[in-house]
């Protein structure tokens, strides 16, 4: 990890500062994505080491800022920040990943198609867009900038593990992150498990049933 600007093929380190949050105090390191122009943040607790607990988190405005119950991104981010504050590690927050990489407006277009009966995967395809357009070169470069080559990855998504592995990061373990399951996202999570390969329990525990 460096305090001086370091340019890697896909990201440049820009600045590091300390930010207190409701989850604890973290060091936040900002990176510019040299391929897309997006600004990513590495949220660090403790000293980054090989084998660190890492969450590579895709931006989700509706779930994280507005409390949408259609997905579980907000509770996952909260749980990841709590866990990483308690045990040390890194949350890499990836901008430009909104809607699995199709963008905010297309995600809402996909939601509209889901209102008409399509599931989360078919809605993307009906828009002529990939089921999942995200890629993880920037995340791998950010990990290397932090001096991390091997991670315990907080995720249920094997594609995330496989893509990071393809970019040279050793994913020693996938650590499940099943939180925020509720009545409004049960079908969405079923689709992620049954059609997109996510490692989710067969019987999802709808711990907090949504109202309204």
Ligand X SMILES: Nc1nc2c(ncn2[C@@H]2O[C@H](COP(=O)(O)OP(=O)(O)OP(=O)(O)O)[C@@H](O)[C@H]2O)c(=O)[nH]1
Taking CB under 6 A as the criterion, the residue among 120, 148, 171, 181 binding ligand X is 120
Q: Which residues are catalytic?
A: 132, 134
Q: Which does 102 bind (CB under 5 to 8 A by kind): ligand X, Zn ion, none?
A: ligand X
144 φ/ψ angles, rounded to the nearest 5 degrees: -65, -35
Our CB check for ligand X shows the closer of 13 and 188 to be 188
Contacts 24+ apart (CB under 8 A), 117-124: 119/187, 119/188, 119/191, 119/195, 120/188, 120/191, 120/192, 121/191, 121/195, 121/196, 124/100
Query: Does the annotation flag 76 for ligand binding?
Result: yes
Euclidean distance between CA atoms 157 and 162, whole angstroms: 9
User: Looking at residue 96, what DSSP letter applies?
Assistant: T
Q: Binding to ligand X by residue 191, rule CB under 6 A? A: no
Our CB check for ligand X shows the closer of 148 and 171 to be 171
What DSSP letter does each residue of 136-185 carry, written as one string? -HHHHHHHHHTT--EEEEE-S-HHHHHHHHHTT-EEEEEEP------TTT
Which residue matches tokens 């907000």?
74
| 81 within 8 A of 44, measured Cβ to Cβ | no
Q: Which stretch binds ligand X (CB under 6 A): 9-17, 32-40, 149-157, 202-210?
A: 149-157
Least gap, CB of 141 to ligand X (angstroms): 19
Q: Which stretch binds ligand X (CB under 6 A): 7-15, 20-28, 38-46, 99-107?
A: 99-107
Q: Which does 135 bind (CB under 5 to 8 A by kind): Zn ion, ligand X, none?
A: none
Q: Binding to Zn ion by residue 63, rule CB under 5 A? A: yes
| 153 within 8 A of 164, measured Cβ to Cβ | yes
Q: Binding to ligand X by residue 192, rule CB under 6 A? A: yes
Least gap, CB of 60 to Zn ion (angstroms): 3
Our CB check for ligand X shows the closer of 44 and 171 to be 171
- The encoded tokens of residue 138 equal 């920037």
Going by C-beta distance under 8 Å and a sequence separation of 6 or more, which residues neighbour residue 211? none
Please report, as ranges, the residues that interact with Zn ion according to CB under 5 A: 60, 63, 71, 73
Please report, as ranges, the residues that interact with ligand X according to CB under 6 A: 58-60, 71, 73, 76, 97-100, 102, 107, 110, 120, 124, 155-157, 160, 177, 192, 198
Q: Which amino acids are annotated as binding site for Zn(2+), given as ranges? A: 60, 71, 73
């Amino acid at each position: 990890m460096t305090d001086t600007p370091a340019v890697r093929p896909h990201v440049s380190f820009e600045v590091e500062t300390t930010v207190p949050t409701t989850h604890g105090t973290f060091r936040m390191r900002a990176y510019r994505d040299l391929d897309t122009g997006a600004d990513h943040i590495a949220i660090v607790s403790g000293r980054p080491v090989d084998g660190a607990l890492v969450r590579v988190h895709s931006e989700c405005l509706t779930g994280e800022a507005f409390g949408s119950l259609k997905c579980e991104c907000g509770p996952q981010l909260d749980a990841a920040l709590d866990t990483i504050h308690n045990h040390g590690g890194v949350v890499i927050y990836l901008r430009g990943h909104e809607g699995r990489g199709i963008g905010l407006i297309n995600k809402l277009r996909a939601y509209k198609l889901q209102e008409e009966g399509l599931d989360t995967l078919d809605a993307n395809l009906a828009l002529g867009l990939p089921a999942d357009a995200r890629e993880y070169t920037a995340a791998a470069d950010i990990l290397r900038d932090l001096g991390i080559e091997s991670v315990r990855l907080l995720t249920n998504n094997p594609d995330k593990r496989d893509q990071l592995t393809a970019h040279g990061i050793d994913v020693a373990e996938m650590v499940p992150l099943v939180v925020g399951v509720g009545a409004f996202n049960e079908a969405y999570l079923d689709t992620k498990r049954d059609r997109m390969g996510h490692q989710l329990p067969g019987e999802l525990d709808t711990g907090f049933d949504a109202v309204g």
